Amino acid sequence: MDIKILGTGCTKCKKLLETSEQAAKEMGIQINVEKVTDMEKILSYSVMSTPALVVNGVVKVMGRVPSLDELKKILS
């Protein structure tokens, strides 16, 4: 599963990365994580607020950090 964390590297972006990795670990799934900080690339996903989570090319969450349980649902 390919995951992209879109954001400038702020605290919320780091929290989204940590929580995504934790959810994947608890679910026993492997993820490939890429951090995207380039604003042009972020805008190419039509994301106007960060952090954002992209799963297999589809924007699932933007502008907030979802809970661990919500992330598990998104990744399942």
- Residue 69: which CATH number? 3.40.30.10
Please give the residue range of the domain that contains residue 41: 2-75
pLDDT tens-digit series, residues 4-29: 999 988 899 999 999 999 999 999 99
The Cα–Cα gap between 50 and 8 comes to 8
My answer on whether omega of the bond before 66 falls inside 30° of 0, hence cis, is no
pTM for the model = 0.91
As for how many domains the chain has, the answer is: 1
The Cα–Cα gap between 53 and 6 comes to 6
- Catalytic machinery residues: 10, 13
Percent of the chain with pLDDT over 90: 93
